Amino acid sequence: MKHDILSGLTVGIIALPLSMALAIATGVPPQLGLYTAIIAGIIAAIFGSSKINISGPTAAFVVILIPIVQQYGVTGLLLCGLLSGIILVFTGLLKLGTLIEVIPYPVTVGFTSGIAVVIATFQIKDFFGLTIENFDGHYLNKIYLIFSSMSTFKTPELLIGLFTLFLLILWQKTKSRIPSALVALSFITVIAAFLNIYFPYLNISTIASTFHYDINGIQGNGIPPVPLQFSLPWSYLNPEEINLDLIYKLLPHSIAIAILGALESLLCAVISDGMTGNKTNPNKELIGQGITNMIVPFFGGIPATAAIARTVVNIKSGGTTKLASIIHSLFILVSIMFLSPYLSYLPMASLSALLFVVAWNMSEVKHFINIIKVAPKNDVYVLLTCFILTVLLDMQIAVAVGIGLASILFIKRTIDLYSIELVNTKLSIHPDIPENISIYDINGPMFFGAAQNALKTLLNSNENTNIVILNMQNVPMIDMTAMVALKSIVDNFKSRNKKLIFSGLNERILKKLTKAKFEFDDENLKTFNNLKDSIDYSKSII
């Protein structure tokens, strides 16, 4: 219990500034990130499967949430979070968690590397203290705005950002158990506050100077010292604005959030299970994340999922039970109530520096380069496609195309496992096979990708062949397309007065073919348990 409490406090110290930075990067006030960490850390721990995962706002969501905020505002974001939670619950109930776990590695690396590039790029504005009125639009638009505004950069902001980045990197190299974010941000915040008080003309941007709040008549700058407030996610909309048309518009965003959240949470579970030896139930974990995202919007929180970096810190700090996640949430709640005035002095450039480090850690540069060097070319194409789409276009498109490419890659490789080969001269059990008997050995699953190959091969078989034996002992499954193709072969052979014999069908395939009206008692179509019996029968009727 002692280790869990200390670990929870350690993770809470890291999550406190990071949750604010991620909320700001998304385009919403920093307190929404804190609310998310509080609720997600407790609810996901209670309802999820993992004992040591830490949930909250994550960098993976930033890219996909920015366009939602820009187009639909905070209310649209909360509604998307609610819908994504419902989708995640149904995904878990339908036991699809195991399918999501097998998304190919190049796809996930392409996503995460692309997200890292976008996050790092978007931090340049605050890191340099650039003056940009409307920092909206797609990636290339923002790149243009950044470069065209470089003349507005502020030296104090840049120095604060560089010094923060230097301390974050330097402290990590010391291997100290004290989080680098606590040391660097505390030190820099004191310096920035001193400079703003005694040298006000420097005008270093902080959370207090950037954000304003008005909650239940309480107004102020920075982080509101107000605990969680329950409110309906749609409370800021007029009744006539809440309709099916709005839901249809938000649904694609919600599906993308759900898919990305599922990938992130299950990837986190795989990593944490590998480090601890635990076994996370993927479907229960998705249900827990779904419930979390259904509750978070009612407290003003943004979409959440399991955070890999915070989970790893939890494990290394000695956390072994769900208590650590709950303690981390309570620490953030107490910090809001008692430390809000001090948190508001955090410089915006320092939070950007923190996100630079986060982006670098999630970029997986080594893995990205390694895939390009050693992976098959199809994997490289998938990696680069997911990466480019994530950066240049839209995360929704990247998710859809990435999963589509993963499916195509799986189908292609399954087809490659399939083979059909004439083996008359290779059989030792019957060296004297007559010329008018052809024996084909089929290996691998017969489904829509392989059915046409079998159809072409058999229809082009030797005209002098009277009997064709299909040895299907190594065929584990067959789908409807393959059955239709086989039915075409049966009908074609029957019209040409040729006989077709199935050999070695497993019981499941035999039942499927029988149900599909394959008449094995017909003189043109037979089935035998093994190849020897098939050949003996064929020779007996010649």
CATH of 419-540, one of 3.90.550.10, 3.30.70.20, 3.30.750.24, 3.40.50.1860: 3.30.750.24
Extents of the domains making up the chain? 2-154+205-348, 419-540
| Measured CA angle at 63 (ends 266, 308), to 5 deg | 30
> Residue 508 pLDDT more than 70?
yes
Q: State residue 463's pLDDT score.
A: 67
With contact defined as beta carbons under 8 Å apart, do 414 and 447 qualify?
yes
Whole-angstrom distance, CA of residue 167 vs CA of residue 183: 8
The pLDDT assigned to 239 comes to: 61
Q: Is the pLDDT of residue 23 over 80?
A: yes
Among residues of the chain, what percentage have pLDDT more than 70?
93
Cα separation, 398 vs 109, whole angstroms: 12
Most confident option among 85-94, 276-285, 468-477: 85-94
The amino acid at 184: A
Question: With bands split at pLDDT 50, 70 and 90, how would you rate the model's confidence at 137?
Answer: confident
More confident of the two residues 156 and 540: 156
Q: Taking all residues of the chain, what is their mean pLDDT, rounded to a whole number?
A: 86
Contact 60, 260 (CB under 8 A): yes
Query: What confidence score (pLDDT) does residue 112 get?
Result: 85
Structure tokens at 186: 């505390």
Torsion of CA 172, 173, 174, 175, to 10 degrees: 70
SS3 label, residue 287: helix
Region 120-144: what's the mean pLDDT?
87
Q: What is the pLDDT of residue 126?
A: 92
Lowest mean pLDDT among 198-212, 315-329, 421-435, 438-452: 421-435
Cβ neighbors of 283 (< 8 A, separation 6 or more) are 92, 93, 95, 96, 97, 98
For 512, how many CA atoms within 13 A lie in the half-sphere containing its CB?
17
The pTM for the full model equals: 0.80
pLDDT band, very low/low/confident/very high, at 101 (cuts 50, 70, 90): low
Each residue's pLDDT tens digit, 389-432: 888 877 777 777 887 887 787 777 777 777 777 776 555 555 66
Look up tokens 């790893």; give the residue. 312
User: Does 474 or 88 have the greater pLDDT score?
Assistant: 88
Please tell me the distance from the alpha carbon of residue 324 to that of residue 52, in angstroms, as a whole number. 7
- State the DSSP code for 429: S
Q: What is the pLDDT of residues 331-348, one digit of tens each?
A: 999 999 998 889 999 999
Mean pLDDT of 182-210: 91
Angle at 269 between CA 266 and CA 274, to 5 degrees: 135
